[in-house]
Amino acid sequence: MAKVRERLLRAASALHRVGIPFAVCGGNAVASWVATVDEGAVRNTRDIDLLVRRSDLDSIKTTLEQAGFVFDVVYDVVLFRDGPDGKPSEGIHLLFAGEKTRAEHLFPAPEITTVDDPAKFPVIALESLVTMKLMSNRDKDRTHLRDLIGVGLIDSTWPMKLPKELADRLQQILDTPDA
């Protein structure tokens, strides 16, 4: 997990240094939010997900390559491996603000809205993170949402903040906390 953290901080520092807007999303964002309440409840993740603007992709490539990352596209996922021998599963995966991550998603990814994580990188705002997790709706995303529920960051008032399709998904998770 130390390698994931080092990778995240190296990428965040490089992007911040040149002024490219981004937000840490995915499992690392969930971990960051959970840690604000209970550090012992944090789950680890192997990859890093960053929400960026597609218009910044050329600058991102240049910046991350200078930081030792290698650009790649695997199964339509734009990512950066950590060096030539880096594994895609442990890489930095880009998601694009305002675009659907997958064709079957109900809505596009949100715009970049962040809060400052105590660890010195911008983390996606909680409502945007919850929306992204509900759109993906995979087992691991539902587990991440249960983690946020478990520490009290999401409660029964949240479904009314969301579009009906996503509200129904969240309500199902709230109704089955041990699923």
Residues 6+ apart with CB under 8 A from 165: 106
CATH of the domain at 115: 3.30.460.40
Q: How many domains does the chain have?
A: 1
**Tens-digit pLDDT profile for residues 6-58:** 999 999 999 999 999 999 999 999 999 999 999 888 888 889 999 999 999 99
Q: Beta strand 48-52 with 69-74: parallel, antiparallel or unpaired?
A: unpaired
Whether residue 176 is contained in a domain is answered as no
pTM: 0.93
Whether residue 58 is contained in a domain is answered as yes
Neighbours of 32 (CB within 10 A): 21
* Alpha carbons 5 and 66: distance in angstroms, whole number: 18
**Tens-digit pLDDT profile for residues 110-151:** 999 888 766 678 999 999 999 999 999 999 999 999 999 999
* Alpha carbons 38 and 20: distance in angstroms, whole number: 30
58: containing domain: 2-125
